[in-house]
Structure 1
Amino acid sequence: MSDPTIGDHVARLRRHATLTQEQLAERAGVSVETVRKLEQGERRSARMSTLHALARALGVATTALLGDASEAAARAEPDHRPLALAEIRRSLTPARGLGALPDPDADRPAAPVEILRARLRQADAAYHRGDYAAALATTPRLLDDARHAAEVTGSPIVHATLAQARYLATELLIQLRAGDLAYAAVSGALDAAQAAGDPVLGASTVKGSSWLLLRQGRLAEAEQVAISTADAVEPRLRRAEPAELAVWGWLLLAGAAAASRDNRPDDATALLDSAAAAAARLADRPVDGHLAILGGFRSARVEMMRAEAAAVAGEPGRVLQVAERVPVGETVATSWQRHRLDVAWAYAAQRQYGEATGVLLELRDRAPAWLRHQRYARDIVQTISDGRRRAMTAELAELATLVGYAA
């Protein structure tokens, strides 16, 4: 059973107060339609001012109405952010005062690390299959429990689990375009990795830092962070463990992404060639213990980045040429999906609008929640729409609605 939504809480409290929907709307100064849509689930979120008004009318705290707004965030609904991210914001940026605030977890026993890691694997799997609602709903409590266990036990493996949970939160928040919280999450991940005494894990969290800086347009910093860390952990290829090869390779890919966007294709190519050497040495050996933070680094992932660099350089033919070397569904889902957007862009750039639409429909069927959050997809839909001489097809119109493009 799913967690109660805002509308479920409103309906329950309204019935308890023996009010009709019309009476509640009148007391709160909102429309009856607002109350009806919330209670019937047609709207999963509302403005904070509306919730304040409803709470006053019901004689309860506003927080009593805050159900699970994770679905709203996953669908990128208007006005979702203050509500859906409230719990994860509390976990990552707890309230502070001049003195110590009461700790509600102080007397609670620490959760066993086996349980924490099982929950982490579940949240990680939800994120990488594009189920952002499930990941967002479960991550705040996981962060709280892992932090509490780390403080109580001081165990390196618990600190490592906390680092991975915070890194997962970083990736999730970047996808939800909550950059301030993503920065807090990745900073906390670095701290926890250092407390764990795990240099590979610490270096792997830098991948998240570089990705965040790239999203913010801080290209030089994104490259510097990635390359300086890669230099610090560069392995001896013949003796390196799989995790060492994977983290080094991921950092080189991050540096290449920044260099290509900084209009330095030769530097990007050199970094990609080094990453390819790491991937060849890694081959099919598994990378254990670091979830999808390091998983998925393979030769195919390097080729995906080559295609991405070609797209950044405006070379659609090169994108399609490189894409032929990438096996279908290769590496982690989010990486594969991002690669397919490059392929859709390349088709659209060559005026092959039917092929571009087909790739987007494939992504719609595979990961609609993920696609909804991709501005890149919106740009591709616009290119297709602008380039077509005829009216939008029903399928293209459906895609436009999904990604938020208004012709």
Structure 2
Amino acid sequence: MIIIQRYGCQRRLRRRSRLLLTGAVSGGNSMSSTVGDNVGRLRRLRGLTQEQLAEAAGLAVETIQKLEQNKPGSPRMSTLRAIASALAVPTSALVGPAVAGLAAGPGSDDDKIALGLLRRALTPARGLSGMTVGHVSVSPPTVDGLQRSIAEIDRIYHGDDYASALARLPVLIGAARSLVDASSGDQRTTSAGQLAQAYQIAGTTLIQLRSFDLAHHALNLALDVADESGNELVAASVVTTMCWMLLRQGRFDEAEQLAVATADAVEPRFSRADPTRLAVWGWLMLRGSAAAIRDGRADDAGEMLDAASAAAARIGEQLPADVALRMPVTMGAFCAVTVEMKRVEMSVVAGDPVTALALAERVPPGSGRATSDNRNRHQLDRAWANAERGDLVEATRILSGLRAKSPTWLRHQRYAGDIVTTILTRRRRPVSQELAALADLLGAGS
């Protein structure tokens, strides 16, 4: 009887597997769960056309088209393996319920699936003696090729395309790991520093999406690998991201202590003017200042901002291209404009809209090398100050500009929702169309 029951169970499992491959079983999930749907979704997340995926998998484009259109017929397992390899995911990730279960929580389906794939890359299943399963084999890139990939994903992140950044990060991490494993000597230390930067971008993206626990894990991995590389500036760059995460979590005292201690360890000699060291140190001063002002110590915050300003002035407006390429992720964005934007932010945190607006007038024209995140945050600060001063029309105009330019970034900002709620509360006129659109995007006033 037991044998019969076991056989019947195996038969049902085999039948279910066939149904999953043909898309006949949904797994009870509202997300697309057919193999074809998931191939199409993962292909788009990777930024590939059907032709490019077919070429990478060594298949006819008609095969990809037929699969994505969910036409009758079960794909061969060899076909699925080839597609999975080209997409740098496990073959099991093409099966609907497996992909649907990768992530949960708010956000689009693409965000959820991409976040799940990144979670797999950062937290592989482990067994005895450090054994891991689930890693996808990736051919080692060149050091220069890997650096270009790091810069490209950093660009995608700062273009607010978080789903694409999340989707590409597992491939980047896998490639960086394979290069470290295949290298020795100086190349191994260099590639270890690059792997640390890959983990850092992952942590940065996860912080933006408020996945703080997974971000913390990614940044700890980055620090471990940075130690192996022996590059203290790469490690210190990772610390700046760690401090940002602590700030987002309200852990101000820890953020300041970490920033100051790390800044002391890498303090530059201004007479030698090493741009990379100056930039890393300057960012740490900005993080320390942000923590101090939030902890109610304006004098300490001001001193650290002044120190950062001196570092930015020493670097100058023009950063040689070869220096920018050697810098850790986002360090090249440190500049005088960034510092002055943070000075405005300091007044906002202190609750002084008058000073904030006056300082905003002094922000140098143009954006310098400031990242889109910092430029957008500066616009939120201007919107807040205008709202506090009673100019609700100007505050709404600034926010509408952000909605038109950076809607994805704006949607993830609770600060923006607070400003819109303030405007809605204080308005004396009916809600305008643009204010209603902002409230809808941010879920404000509901």
**TM-score exceeds 0.5:** yes
The 3 A distance-change label for structure 1 pair 147 and 356 is: same
Corresponding position of 2:367: 329
1:302 corresponds to 2:327: no
Counterpart Cα distance in 2 of 1:102 and 1:229: 33
Q: Which has the larger radius of gyration?
A: 2
Counterpart Cα distance in 1 of 2:205 and 2:278: 25
Deviations 1:199-246 (A, max 9, x none): 111111110111111111111100000001111111111113100110
Unaligned runs of 5+ in 2: 1-18, 42-73, 75-90
Corresponding position of 1:175: 208
Q: Give yes or no for contact 1:372–1:402 (8 Å, CA) kept in 2.
A: yes
C-alpha deviation, 1:148, in angstroms:
2.1
Match of 1:392 among 428, 431, 438: 431
C-alpha deviation, 1:115, in angstroms:
2.3
Q: Give yes or no for contact 1:230–1:248 (8 Å, CA) kept in 2.
A: yes
Match of 1:381 among 416, 420, 426: 420
Residue correspondences, number: 367
Q: Give yes or no for contact 2:140–2:182 (8 Å, CA) kept in 1.
A: yes
1:1-400 to structure 2, matched below 5 A, reads: 16=22, 64-65=95-96, 77=107, 83-101=113-131, 109-154=139-184, 155-286=188-319, 287-288=323-324, 289-290=326-327, 292-326=329-363, 327-330=365-368, 331-400=370-439
Deviations 1:329-387 (A, max 9, x none): 34111111111111111011111111001111111111111111000100011011111
The 3 A distance-change label for structure 1 pair 106 and 14 is: closer
Task: Name the Cα RMSD after superposition.
Answer: 3.2
Unaligned runs of 5+ in 1: 1-12, 45-57
- The one-letter amino acid of 2:116's match is A
The 3 A distance-change label for structure 1 pair 187 and 102 is: closer
The one of the two structures with greater contact order (alpha-carbon pairs below 8 A, sep at least 6) is: 1
Q: Give yes or no for contact 2:158–2:371 (8 Å, CA) kept in 1.
A: yes
- The one-letter amino acid of 2:382's match is V
Q: Give yes or no for contact 1:242–1:285 (8 Å, CA) kept in 2.
A: no
Counterpart Cα distance in 1 of 2:241 and 2:421: 29
Deviations 1:143-201 (A, max 9, x none): 11111211221412211111111111111000000001111111111122222221111
The 3 A distance-change label for structure 1 pair 158 and 15 is: closer
Counterpart Cα distance in 2 of 1:16 and 1:96: 31
C-alpha deviation, 1:255, in angstroms:
0.1
Where 1:379 maps in the other structure, the secondary structure is helix
Q: Under a length normalisation based on structure 1, what TM-score does the superposition of the two structures give?
A: 0.82
Q: Give yes or no for contact 1:223–1:258 (8 Å, CA) kept in 2.
A: yes
Moved more, 286-295 or 274-283: 286-295
Counterpart Cα distance in 1 of 2:272 and 2:28: 70
Q: Give yes or no for contact 1:316–1:349 (8 Å, CA) kept in 2.
A: yes
Counterpart Cα distance in 2 of 1:64 and 1:15: 7
Q: Under a length normalisation based on structure 2, what TM-score does the superposition of the two structures give?
A: 0.75
Counterpart Cα distance in 2 of 1:96 and 1:249: 39
The 3 A distance-change label for structure 1 pair 273 and 341 is: same
Deviations 1:49-68 (A, max 9, x none): xxxxxxxxx9x978612698
- The one-letter amino acid of 2:336's match is S
- The one-letter amino acid of 1:143's match is I
Q: Give yes or no for contact 1:76–1:373 (8 Å, CA) kept in 2.
A: no
- The one-letter amino acid of 2:241's match is G
Where 2:128 maps in the other structure, the secondary structure is coil
C-alpha deviation, 1:77, in angstroms:
2.3
